[in-house]
Amino acid sequence: MIDPVIFGYKTNIAALEVGKHFYWEFGNFTVHGQVLIVSWIVMGAVLVAALIGSSTAKADQRVPAGFQNFMEYALEYVQGIAKDQIGEKHYREWVPFVGSLFLFIFVSNWFGALVPWKLLELPEGELAAPTGDINTTIALALLVSLAYFYAGLSKRGLEYFTRYVQASPFLLPLWVLEDFTKPLSLSFRLFGNILADELVVGVMVLLVPLFVPLPLMILGLFTSAIQALIFATLAASYIGEAMEGHGDEGHDEH
């Protein structure tokens, strides 16, 4: 804590705490309220942006302008991610899922770093990026697991389970383990990166409250954006791999 006394008033310039949460209770469930609040704000922001971006579209307008142009760029970017990983034929139906993952993670990371959450005072704990909570990232990773199983089963039916004995029956434990390590690594990669960014910035601000933490904050913005891209790319890659089968394309096989 940095508590200088300025003109006789005790002020609190910097403090760092980890692990305090704002608990909400729904019957038997206890949830982290601060994570839910910021998640809802992020979802609201993305929805509002999408609505504004599409409301100004006019039927006779060939060249989009302004905000609509920006939203179309975002859509094309997400379509590009899905197309690269899943392939020309089937990528259209997975664009909403991959796009939602990318936009939610990207916007929540950047909101967590840029929006001055400290202005909203909570009784316990404080508002931060929702992806900095392991529960959020595990939920997203389990969604991806569910998605790639669904993709494989719906496209290939029960033949999908032959992948366990694909190259050789001795590799069965490896593929079973892969089913567990995929969501584990996805969730921990995202959680670790975002929490590490927040902690590093927090500790820097604790030590030197002005100006010096800025390069680290910008680095944090950059790495959190990359992590959103990585999560979406890997999700699309797992879906594409489940639909095609192992070893078909030389993508970034993790």
Partner 1 sequence: MIDPLVASASVIAAGIAVGLGSVGPGIGQGTAASRAVEGIARQPEAEGKIRGTLLLSLAFMEALTIYGLVVALVLLFANPFA
Binding to partner 1 (CB under 8 A) within 127-186 occurs at 185
Dist CA 38 CA 177 (whole Å): 34
Instruction: Kindly state the smallest distance separating residue 76's Cβ from partner 1, in Å.
Output: 16
Nearer to partner 1, 125 or 192 (CB): 192
Nearer to partner 1, 4 or 215 (CB): 215
CB 150 within 8 A of CB 143: no
Among 8, 19, 169, 250, binds partner 1 (CB under 8 A): 19
Instruction: Kindly state the smallest distance separating residue 233's Cβ from partner 1, in Å.
Output: 7
Give, as one character, the DSSP assignment of residue 30: E
Q: Does 217 sit near partner 1 (CB under 8 A)?
A: no
Q: Does 230 sit near partner 1 (CB under 8 A)?
A: yes
CA neighbor of 114 nearest in space, from 52, 47, 201, 39: 201
* DSSP class per residue in 83-116: HHHH-TTT-GGGHHHHHHHHHHHHHHHHHHHHS-
Q: Does 233 sit near partner 1 (CB under 8 A)?
A: yes
Sign of CA dihedral 70, 41, 47, 76: positive
3-state secondary structure of 103: helix
Task: Look up residue 18 and give its two tokens.
Answer: 């980890």
Among 13, 51, 196, 207, binds partner 1 (CB under 8 A): 196
How many Cα neighbours within 13 Å face the side chain of 184? Answer: 5
Q: Does 229 sit near partner 1 (CB under 8 A)?
A: yes
Q: How far is CA 244 from CA 89, 174, 197, in A?
A: 11, 19, 36
Q: Does 216 sit near partner 1 (CB under 8 A)?
A: no
Nearer to partner 1, 155 or 189 (CB): 189
In the block, which residue shows the tokens 């030590």? 207
Q: Does 250 sit near partner 1 (CB under 8 A)?
A: no
Instruction: Kindly state the smallest distance separating residue 227's Cβ from partner 1, in Å.
Output: 7
Residues 6+ apart with CB under 8 A from 132: 112, 191, 194, 195, 198
Instruction: Choose the stretch contacting partner 1; rule: CB under 8 A; options: 92-100, 147-155, 188-196, 212-220.
Output: 188-196
Among 195, 201, 236, 243, binds partner 1 (CB under 8 A): 195
Instruction: Kindly state the smallest distance separating residue 182's Cβ from partner 1, in Å.
Output: 13
Contact residues for partner 1, defined by CB under 8 A: 18-19, 185, 188-189, 191-193, 195-196, 199, 223, 226-227, 229-230, 233, 252, 254
